[in-house]
Structure 1
Amino acid sequence: MITLFQHQQQALDETEGKNRVAYYLDMGLGKTFVGSEKMMKLNKRINLVVCQCSKVQDWIEHFQDYYTRNCVFDLTNPKTFKWFFEQVQHEVPTLMIGVINYELTFRRNVLKTLTGFTLMLDESSLIQNENAKRSKFILGLKPDNVILLSGTPTGGKYENLWSQCQLLGWKISKELFWKQYIQTEWVETDGFWRQQITGYKNVDRLKMKLAEHGAVFMTTEQAGISLPKRNWIKVKTRPSPLYWKFWNDRYIAIDSANLGEFELDADFYGSNAHCERELIGDTSLTRRLYARQLCGLYNPARYEAFRDLVNSTEDRLIVFYNFTEEMERLKGIAKGLNRPVSVLSGEEKNLDAYRYQHNSITFIQYQAGAMGGNFQLANKIIYFSLPQGSELWEQSQKRIHRLGQERPCFYYLMICPGTVEEDILSTLEMRKDYTDELFRKYEQAATAPQSP
């Protein structure tokens, strides 16, 4: 028997009687418990939970610990997947909960044959692109009930809500959705004209319609929970000596010999310190990518600043990064300073040092760990490089700033002023403003329109 917090029960009460719901609760408010309790209330024999690969085992353990040990199936295992469907076909009356990751769903075509089931999507923002294979597949399923869970349902981009609206039963066309809620203008980029989003409109109406279709938005403050203060510290460095040459010429040949006064030491920075390659920014995307790397990955000053940060404290540190090569070099620094290391990436998950060593450094790749995981044993995050996605940026901050954290949280933002990084940060902050607006309670005006 689970005893819910008051705010969790409130979310359930607001969706009483609805069979298609979205719990857009701020990170750390316990969406897992709200979603699983709603699933039990819907009382379907067959239940399908879709989540990130790194969260499959967490969901399995959650259901085993709080509900049942015998009827939870790891559908990422082919043999277990086959056994699950044998039980489905034999119509065994027992409760069945299958857990699978997003990238495997569309590779398990037999899921399309499921009927009469409850579908729960953890981090439902991952189906925001309705043209992606996983999104198309999930939108083609035929569940009786739907539960969506996310702390950042749009990443500050309201156009990304359309797919989730479909699952909630709001059958507004994409064309009408854009017409009603998205502001655009035509701009020319690299000789091509494209439609650019400039803002949003009718936001209160959008929030009202979402509420009508079972969406609950809740911030930490609205839940009546007081978390410790968050403190931001910018760690400014110059970019690589090659940055401006690349930005102007869109080309640079790079190796450790032409990185200027900060020559990389292979013993100190790891085996990947010496690199010889060409960076060619022949498109706006590659130009931006390599400019970012010349601020971080190929910037010796950034590594020197990181070393100084690590030397300044013996506390646990969480470090967010983008590129594997960044992590390898940072690990070299950490090990050179005799600091225990944990890694959470697409290829590796080893959190022993984080759990058991008070002075550990945990390296987390945005895609693998920003959207899930509790790391409140630490209260300091270093952002070695910035992500491109607002939802990754917002969710990463909540890995330490959540229920159970009793100390002030410190965020060290490593950045090169006057570079592409400042543009990225500005965009991330703007998207956060849009996310915050969506979480504010809509004004229930008497004259509020009732159209789509």
Structure 2
Amino acid sequence: LDLWSQIYLLDRGERLGKFITHYRTRYFDSDFMGFDYKPKKGAEQAITKKISDICISLKAKDYLELPSIIYNEIPVDLDKKALKAYQDLEKNMVLSLEESEITAVSAGVLTNKLSQCANGAIYDEDKVVNHIHDCKLERFTELVEELNGESALVFYNFKHDKDRILKALEKSGLEVREFKSPKDEEDWNKGNIDILLAHPASTAYGINLQYGGRHIIWFSLPWSYELYAQANARLFRQGQEKPVIVHELLCTDTVDHDIKKSLSEKGQNQEDVLRALKARLGKE
């Protein structure tokens, strides 16, 4: 699905259409919530054929010597109270808390609220943060300890996630910093930062962090495969000398696993398209 914008920049919509909505309707089917999309039968081959005259398939691992990348899915079990809150919100699209009531007015909003709930806090209609649980946060701090002093690049999705992480680590004795400027990039690569917090959108392109560590922790995964892949590529890139380990905190029986499944499928679809283009170029 992310391919449309890249091709549009090359041909202004000649091959895949001038509007992403038309592209999505023609080549993809949505799930019942209208939030996730899967290619229709034959769509992959049709798309590959349309773009093969202007695309060359090159992946970094095809022409660079890179270490391995390892994906480590870490299960997080919600306690009974947290699980009940999550299930109430999922079933009723409403969650009654002591100080406010959380309402999801659409399927898309519900998915966003469920993701927040799995993380441990949730915004109400007035953007006030409501604490739900610390299950994922506690597993996160345990993971940081398990790294035995190795630095970690931590990605978050919601501001309240970042704020809670900063508070949880403020007495850890670690050098914890939020990515804001080139100075942070420089200090990270010099090994002066233990935990670097970043939103995936803020580090998606043009940032080189491969010299400062090999561990990535996803406190919460994004729906966008492009953001996910580009964020991981901040460490998994030329100049990295050690295997990169991508730790993903996934709450059991929650939307976390739906997002992970969606990312895996999008990644596989991209791999298939690149493989097909490579095979086609090899025949010419």
* TM-score (structure 1 length as normaliser): 0.51
Structure 1 counterpart of 2:205, from 367, 371, 374: 371
Native 8 Å contact 2:70 2:244 kept in 1: yes
The one-letter amino acid paired with 1:374 is: N
Cα distance in 2 between the residues matched to 1:439 and 1:353:
36
Residue 217 of structure 1: which of 48, 57, 61 is its match?
Answer: 57
- RMSD of equivalent CA atoms: 3.3
Q: 2:70 aligns with which of 210, 223, 231?
A: 231
Deviations 1:244-283 (A, max 9, x none): 121122111336xxxxxxxxxxxxxxxxxxxx54321221
1:278 corresponds to: 101
Cα distance in 2 for partners of 1:306, 1:336 equals 15
Note the alpha carbon deviations across 1:151-182, whole angstroms, 9 max, x for none. Answer: xxx53xx4445523424xx7347289979x95
Within the candidate set 164, 176, 187, 1:329 is matched to: 164
1:247 to 90, 109, 119: 90
Normalising to structure 2: TM-score of the pair? 0.78
- Partners of 2:196 and 2:41 in 1: how far apart? 38
Q: Deviations over 1:85-137 (max 9, x none)?
A: xxxxxxxxxxxxxxxxxxxxxxxxxxxxxxxxxxxxxxxxxxxxxxxxxxxxx
Secondary structure (helix, strand or coil) at the match of 2:280 reads coil
Report the residue type matching 1:234 in the other structure: E
Task: Kindly indicate whether the alpha-carbon contact (under 8 Å) linking 2:8 and 2:16 is maintained by their aligned counterparts in 1.
Answer: no
Question: Which residue of 137, 142, 154 corresponds with 1:319?
Answer: 154
- Contact kept in structure 2, 1:334 and 1:361, CA below 8 Å: no
Residue 300 of structure 1, CA deviation: 0.5
Aligned equivalents of 1:173 and 1:443: distance in 2?
A: 19
Counterparts in 2 of 1:117-196, with a 5 A limit? 155=2, 158-161=3-6, 163-167=8-12, 171-172=14-15, 174=17, 182-184=26-28
Amino acid at match of 1:163: Y
Q: Which runs of 5+ in 1 are unaligned?
A: 1-153, 256-275
Q: Percent identity?
A: 18
Among candidates 180, 185, 201, match of residue 42 of structure 2:
201
Find the partner of 2:118 among 295, 298, 308: 295
1:393 aligns with 2:228: yes
Q: 1:326 deviation in Å? A: 0.8
Contact 1:184–1:197 at 8 Å: present in 2 too? yes
Q: Which runs of 5+ in 2 are unaligned?
A: 122-132
Confirm or deny: 8 A CA contact 1:235 1:412 kept in the other structure: yes
Task: Map 1:248-267; keep pairs closer than 5 Å.
Answer: 248-254=91-97
1:417 counterpart residue number? 252
Measured in 2, the distance between the counterparts of 1:200 and 1:176 equals: 21
Q: CA deviation at 1:353?
A: 4.8
Q: Which fold has the larger relative contact order, with Cα–Cα distance below 8 Å and residues 6 or more apart in sequence? A: 2
In the alignment, the residues of structure 1 paired with residue 57 and residue 30 of structure 2 have an alpha-carbon distance, to the nearest angstrom, of: 32
Indicate the structure (1 or 2) with the bigger Cα radius of gyration: 1
Relative to structure 1, is the Cα distance of residues 378 and 188 closer, same or farther in structure 2, using a 3 angstrom cutoff?
Answer: closer
Change (3 A) 1:210 1:373: same
Does 291-300 or 421-430 show the bigger shift? 291-300
